Structure formats: C-alpha cells, structure tokens
Amino acid sequence: MATKEAKLELIRENLAEVLNPEIIDEVLDKGETLRIYWGTAPTGKPHCGYFVPIMKIAQFLQAGCNVKILLADVHAFLDNLKAPIELVEYRAKYYRYCITALLRAVNVPIEKLEFVLGSSYQMSAKYTMDVYRLASLVTEHDAKKAGAEVVKQSQNAPISGLMYPLLQALDEEALDVHAQFGGVDQRKIFALAMEVRTYTAGLKHVVLTD
C-alpha cells in the first residue's frame, strides 16, 4: 500500500498551486480516500489540450483517489448559449467515451472513476434553492469578475453567464468531494467560493490548479 508521502507526491506533482492543502493532509492522515472532482463543460469537441488534465487525473487515480468527472451540461448551456441543450446532451456522452478511452490508453485503472451529469442533481429543489440563496449574497460585479476567464464575455451579456460561477461554487458540496481540480483560469471562481464560505459552511473549499 502506498504511503501518505507517495500519494501526496502524485497528487501535487505539476500543480501550479494547492489551496488549503491542510485538508488533503487531514484526509490522508485519517487513512481515508481523497475524493476529487474535475468538471468539464461539453461546449465543443474534445481536443489535444484535454491530455493535460487527463494525465493529472490519471495520477489522482494512481494515488488511490476517488475521482468524479462532472460533465457540466447545464454549465455549457449557461456559457453564453454556446450550444443548445439538446446538442450538449449528445456531447456529454461523447466526452465520457473520449475521456475513458484516454485513461485506458495509458493503462490507468478506472475502478474509482465516476462520471456525473450536471443536470442529474442541478435540477433538484435543494440545489436550486442553494443557487437562489447564493445569488442573494454575490454581487453582479463579483460574479462577473469570478467568471471573467471562464465564461465568454460580451457586451450586455445574458444573466446566465453570472450564474455560471455560482453553480461551480456549489458543486463541491453537491458532489460530496474533498477537492476540486481545475485550471488556473478558474482560480477566481475558487476564490469566490471561499469568500462566501460563511454561507456555504458545508463546502470543503480545497482546490487544485494545474
């Protein structure tokens, strides 16, 4: 069985930053399995850039982590209507196929890999009420700033773009994970989630950036 130090080395390798690393240490010190999620919005076709996060996810799996991949169909729809919801549904299935194939191609065990469709829980009454509550706390300025590097910006942008970072801030709790893995372009969304932690007391607010 791999030691805590060996697991941490795999988890942290090639990461630009780890926020709240003490929570990861605490989970591993207890001998528990670290639960991590990575979200991707199926707005277009998977491309070679996906190798970067997929190779990192492979390391998480090799470290014995449980990894949830969020196929963020609702996020994709909210991102300035890049794709109609009907098309996003088919793209989500294609993303799942491609990501699974990539991990199998590098001989990574996928027993601890799980795919979750965003709409499977983001339509629930509890989640919807949480979004409304969070919307009452976050200003237009802060929501726009948080999503500036992720959501497509335009003149007189639709409200959907402001909702995008709110949903992502709530996904950690809904998915029941310890950590969220994402690119440095998402750091402002992670920061927003931490700023509103007084309300979202149940969130872990551990984020990993590549």
Question: What pLDDT shows up at residue 81?
Answer: 59
CATH topology of domain 4-209: Rossmann fold (3.40.50)
CA–CA gap between residue 181 and residue 203 (Å, rounded): 15
Start-to-end C-alpha separation, the chain: 26
The per-residue pLDDT for range 159-207, each reduced to its tens digit, is 877 888 888 888 888 999 998 999 888 888 888 887 776 555 444 444 4
Q: How confident is the model at residue 64 (pLDDT cuts 50, 70, 90)?
A: very high
Q: So where are the chain's domains?
A: 4-209
Residue 61 has pLDDT above 90, yes or no: yes
Closest by CA position to 66, among listed 111, 14, 20: 111
Among 76-90, 112-126, 168-182, the range scoring the smallest mean pLDDT is 76-90
62-68: average pLDDT: 95
More reliable by pLDDT, 85 or 36 = 36
Do 8 and 28 touch, CB atoms closer than 8 A?
Answer: yes
Sign, CA dihedral 53-58-64-66, equals: positive
Q: How confident is the model at residue 19 (pLDDT cuts 50, 70, 90)?
A: confident
CA–CA gap between residue 6 and residue 200 (Å, rounded): 32
Among 100-114, 142-156, 170-184, the range scoring the smallest mean pLDDT is 142-156
Do 68 and 45 touch, CB atoms closer than 8 A?
Answer: no
